[in-house]
Amino acid sequence: MEIEAKYRISAADLNRLATLNALGPYTLHTLAGECQRNIYYDSVDGRLALARYGLRVRQIGNRSTITLKGPARVDENGIHHRAEFEFPGSNPDPATWPAGPARDLAQALLLGAPLRPLLIIETSRRIIHAVRDGQDRVELCLDRGTIYADNRQAPLCELELEVLPAGSVYDLTELANALRAIFKITPERQSKLERGMALLKR
């Protein structure tokens, strides 16, 4: 289960956030920066979209990861809850995936329909962990990039907070409140894929 919150934020505030060493009772520890190329797939007749699932292959250098995400439930605080399957791989065809629930689910949704690339999102990401009582509680992802959908494109600048195994929704909420005290952040209810799909329909 993925639990995260997304916020729109200005590039200037994203830069300021990257310089902080702490937020409230949390120490901020910068882990890495990475450049991602995210390719999203669906059948020609949109079977995954109809079921509100997203299928992505993420490339970071010479490493690739496949992610299948289920429908998001967004609560009153703008926190997204959804099922997520993630594993190493570069082929979006579920017939090539390891045996398991992700392959079974994708095959049941697609019913043999071939996949095609829908859109590409290129992202420059800085990863920061919020640490409390010696445990990494929440991952902060500072994202800048571009959504490419056919011949259309749109800029991307946002902040993601994702609960880590040692963390909780309480930690996420505490950090969001600490951020609001310093920066102007606006909850983003749509995923990157949903914004890309909207761009395709323009």
For 2-200, CATH number? 2.40.320.10
Mean pLDDT for 189-193 is 90
CA of residue 154 relative to chain centroid, distance: 17
Q: Which amino acid is at 44?
A: V
Please determine, for residue 95, whether its predicted confidence score (pLDDT) is greater than 90.
Answer: yes
Classify residue 164 as exposed, middle or buried by CB count within 10 Å of its CB (0-12, 13-18, 19+). Answer: middle
- Please state, for a pLDDT cut of 90, what percent of the chain lies above it: 90
**Residue among 167, 199, 157 at smallest CA distance from 7:** 157
Q: Tell me the pTM.
A: 0.93
Q: How many residues does the chain have?
A: 202
In tens, the pLDDT along 65-93 reads: 999 999 988 887 778 899 999 999 999 99
Tell me the sheet residues that pair with 27: 22, 131
Q: How many CB atoms lie within 10 A of CB 100?
A: 10
In tens, the pLDDT along 161-185 reads: 999 999 999 999 999 999 999 999 9
